Structure 1
């Protein structure tokens, strides 16, 4: 009863007596991070010293045999990225091999591995640029001409990764005519091939004005408008993101989307019931009405479309009764105010007549 209470210990942290904090014992400071082979050895030995058997743990100069061993060990852990890219390019530009992959077949192991290896490194801008300089863009005409859907899908994923936020590769993709190829393919692709193709179009264009202008001039707005009714939700979402981006930054694109009467297309989609794309579709309408172009306002008020009732009914849907879809609810409310409350019909008629 009169003896001192036992010490309390927290493993791996510090040891202290229960009755006093004056004798706190901290663990020794950890060794510094290594910056050389000698430092690497010292770090390893210091970090594991507590686990070693008692004895002399003094470090002496590193002998040549030990240095060679560590150099080989480090070399075995180092990847030569240039060699990885070269091997992948060699496989994916082998037209005979690529053409041999038939419709519906799985990819040969070396082809699949080549795509995997590229995906692992090309998100680095310098590596992506080196890939082009090594002739890597030669894989795209070969892969895109394949009848195998997975090959085309993987090629689009690689192109998207190369071009995303990378003006150098975006410019090279445009020079190589790859945007033309994508715009042609996206009209016939389905499933994942369509989704990745749209992803590649977005990545080659966004934040790169020459590609955006080229997309608009070559009928890309019409293609994107049609894709708002695609079967795949992910494809509709990607198309919606790009439509909104183009409408916000390029008046000529916005004009083209108004001509395509996206109001009717979007209203029909919302009528069918909400899904993961609804918020993005409503965001397009919100962008299109910016500036109060009388053409878009007239389309919104077309009785045949009945947008006002569609928006009001959507606001009453069970999904929008909590804050989960707050932004979607706000789009509906803002559209109702801007189109049907803040702009009387007579004012709209006068503005149209003036134009």
Structure 2
């Protein structure tokens, strides 16, 4: 049976079940055993054609992952299915309820740790219920501990930052714990690796943290990160990271005079760099946004 036919059959069966329900209510005391059996048969038939529920699929995936000595390809396929399912916020909550978090935690120590970190990132994204569950299970500490080792590779590190970013976003409890556990130093260390993708992810997380809690700006300032970011920018060649860094610097200097004073230091050469950037990109439609960012930062820092 092709997919179009299957969809039509599902609609017909659903319509039949719904109308069987309505007829049963209207009949009140005149409901016969045959009618109830017909309704059950239609419901069972519909379930059979529609396949297993998302919860059943997720349970099956977790069982596959738990099988001893199962190959990585099979586990990866199961994780891909789980990632697809938990994009739905209700499925994500069900994943927690059926015991999925301990399985994901266990996988952080395996060869597919990047997949496990990505799964956790998707699970907690914009989902307070799942954020709280992962936090309560010690997920933040596990992710930080793994990330601080740096031996897991850039791909895993990228997903770990992604997971931490999702876990702390709009969650003050997680953000406080992240800071207490040395998270700021961890992000600065990852930034210093010089990997473009990692730098982008770290800056994105830092910016969101500063938006959620303006006191983060002073923590970054105290670690010399504002000065370091300016020096990084003025040495930057090409436009790959320029927009990301400019956006972060604007975020830091807004309503923070201390950060502004650092950026305005003559020895850092930021003013000359911004003027040069504006001139180079003048008339270039592809980088008009970058030019506007440079212009805005210059106006804030060098009135």
Shorter-normalised TM-score: what interval?
0.7 to 0.9
- SS of 1:316's partner is helix
Look up the match of 1:327. 289
Moved more, 186-195 or 111-120: 186-195
- SS of 2:302's partner is helix
C-alpha deviation, 1:35, in angstroms: 5.2
1:269-290: CA deviations, max 9, x gaps? 3222134322121111101111
Note closer, same or farther for the CA distance 1:334–1:168 as it changes in structure 2 (3 Å cut).
same
C-alpha deviation, 1:312, in angstroms: 1.9
Look up the match of 1:297. 260
Look up the match of 1:259. 222
Look up the match of 2:145. 184
Residues 1:37 and 2:13 are matched in the alignment: yes
* 8 A contact 2:264–2:301 mirrored in 1: yes
- SS of 2:267's partner is coil
In the alignment, the residues of structure 1 paired with residue 190 and residue 239 of structure 2 have an alpha-carbon distance, to the nearest angstrom, of 16
- SS of 1:304's partner is helix
Residues 1:159 and 2:90 are matched in the alignment: no
In the alignment, the residues of structure 2 paired with residue 328 and residue 322 of structure 1 have an alpha-carbon distance, to the nearest angstrom, of 10
Look up the match of 2:106. 142
Moved more, 155-164 or 67-76: 67-76
Look up the match of 1:273. 237
C-alpha deviation, 1:266, in angstroms: 2.1
Note closer, same or farther for the CA distance 1:69–1:337 as it changes in structure 2 (3 Å cut).
closer
In the alignment, the residues of structure 1 paired with residue 193 and residue 172 of structure 2 have an alpha-carbon distance, to the nearest angstrom, of 27
* 8 A contact 1:244–1:287 mirrored in 2: yes
Look up the match of 2:33. none
* 8 A contact 1:202–1:242 mirrored in 2: yes
C-alpha deviation, 1:258, in angstroms: 1.1
C-alpha deviation, 1:69, in angstroms: 9.9
Q: Which has the larger radius of gyration?
A: 1
Look up the match of 1:173. 134
Structure 1, gaps ≥5 residues long: 1-31, 41-63, 99-106, 342-355
C-alpha deviation, 1:172, in angstroms: 0.9
Look up the match of 2:197. 234
Note closer, same or farther for the CA distance 1:228–1:329 as it changes in structure 2 (3 Å cut).
farther
* 8 A contact 1:195–1:235 mirrored in 2: yes
In the alignment, the residues of structure 1 paired with residue 136 and residue 43 of structure 2 have an alpha-carbon distance, to the nearest angstrom, of 47
* 8 A contact 2:10–2:50 mirrored in 1: no
C-alpha deviation, 1:33, in angstroms: 11
Matched pairs, number: 272
In the alignment, the residues of structure 2 paired with residue 89 and residue 222 of structure 1 have an alpha-carbon distance, to the nearest angstrom, of 35
Look up the match of 1:97. 69
1:13-32: CA deviations, max 9, x gaps? xxxxxxxxxxxxxxxxxxx9
Look up the match of 1:312. 275
* 8 A contact 1:248–1:254 mirrored in 2: no
TM-score, structure 2 normalization:
0.80
Look up the match of 2:169. 206
**Higher helix fraction: Structure 1 or Structure 2?**
2
Which residues in structure 2 correspond to 1:334-349 (within 5 Å)? 334-341=296-303
Which residues in structure 2 correspond to 1:54-93 (within 5 Å)? 72=45, 75-93=48-66
Look up the match of 1:127. 91
* 8 A contact 1:227–1:235 mirrored in 2: yes
C-alpha deviation, 1:256, in angstroms: 0.6
C-alpha deviation, 1:142, in angstroms: 1.7
Note closer, same or farther for the CA distance 1:70–1:132 as it changes in structure 2 (3 Å cut).
closer
Look up the match of 1:249. 212
| Higher RCO, 1 vs 2 (CA within 8 Å, ≥6 residues apart) | 2
